[in-house]
Amino acid sequence: MLEADIDAQSTTPLSMVRRAVPYATRVLADAGVPAVWRDRFDQDRFPDDVYNLTPATFTDLGADVAGQAIAWGAAKAWAHRRRHAAS
């Protein structure tokens, strides 16, 4: 995705990370790990994530990751605006 042209990027890096959660959930469930307590926000937003693995934001993955995500978003927005700005 990150190598794709900005106009062809239909998702975000956070969405890509979230797609790994069902796999990890199956591994934990198959190993007999019991579900964990989750607050109402997590239950509403990520109902199938019984192990509370889904990051709500990049900050959940660490400050360095969050900083890189902000830089990626800003760079993509700048490139998009430069490409599509009215002359």
Digit-coded pLDDT (tens) for 55-70: 999 999 998 999 998 9
> What is the average per-residue pLDDT within 25-33?
97
The amino acid sitting at 9 is Q
1 within a domain of the structure (yes/no): no
pTM over 0.75: no
CA 69 to chain centre: 10
How far is residue 26's CA from residue 36's CA, in Å, rounded to a whole number? 14
Number of domains in the chain: 1
Range of the domain at 76: 6-84
Query: Tokens 């760079």, residue?
Result: 75
DSSP the chain: -TTS-GGG--S-HHHHHHTTHHHHHHHHHHTTPPP----HHHHHH-TT-TT----SSGGGG-HHHHHHHHHHHHHHHHHHHHHHS--
78 within a domain of the structure (yes/no): yes
How far is residue 17's CA from residue 60's CA, in Å, rounded to a whole number? 11
| Predicted local confidence at residue 85, as pLDDT | 87
